Amino acid sequence: MQLLYARLSPFVRKIMVLLEEADKAGEVELIDGFGSPTAPNDAVVAVNPIGKIPCLVKDDGVAIYDSRVIARYLDNRFATGLYPDDDRIWTTLTLEAHADGMLDAAVISVYETRCRDEAIRSAEWVAGQHAKITRGLDALESHWLDHLAGPMDMGHVGVGCALGYLDFRAELGGWSDWRDGRPGLTAWGDRFLERASMKATSPA
């Protein structure tokens, strides 16, 4: 299998964490897929017309994409157990989507700075993305700590990668520290970021 990736992408990191947890990182060939919304990578576009990473090319040559789809495929292939096989799956999928939504807002904020000329940047747009992140973090603190304290699933991985990205891109993104006023999330997040799979995939 081949994974078109960029080391700094938090969505790619989700997949790399899964592979580390499964002890299968060596079974996937990494192919540089770095690009931007305005200049997508040609190799990525050749297999994913949307031009986004991560994109996994299976052994049969068929490409699958979107980090959540790839994660489900690899979890099934390697039997990592990060997606429950009972009704808990809906909670896991919702938390993973929640984390991805926060990441979408964070990445969009960074793109506004990196990919748009200063004269046409929108402070209002960025503020709207930051508000999504804040609401997402507040919800993690108020509603999700019990789940995060339970058995690890892909929702945990998604949240961990989101928190890691907020740390990594804090200066460029311009958002507040996710730890401020969230003691429960701080305690959980700082522990999770020390997990071996997270340290092995750190973008820093």
CATH number, residue 179: 1.20.1050.10
Each residue's pLDDT tens digit, 154-180: 999 999 999 999 999 999 999 999 999
Give, for all 204 residues of the chain, the pLDDT tens digit: 999 999 999 999 999 999 999 999 999 999 999 988 788 899 999 999 999 999 999 999 999 999 999 999 999 999 999 999 999 999 999 999 999 999 999 999 998 887 677 778 788 999 999 999 999 999 999 999 999 999 999 999 999 999 999 999 999 999 999 999 999 999 999 999 999 999 999 998
**Domain boundary pick from 26, 55, 78:** 78
- Dig out the tokens for 25 from the structure: 């990182």
Domain identity same for 187 and 105:
yes
Do both 74 and 114 map to the same domain?
no
Measuring CA to CA, how many Å separate 203 from each of 105, 124, 140, 161, 198? 19, 29, 23, 10, 10
Query: Would the pTM count as exceeding 0.85?
Result: yes
Dump pLDDT digits (tens) for 124-145.
999 999 999 999 999 999 999 9
How many separate domains does the chain show?
2
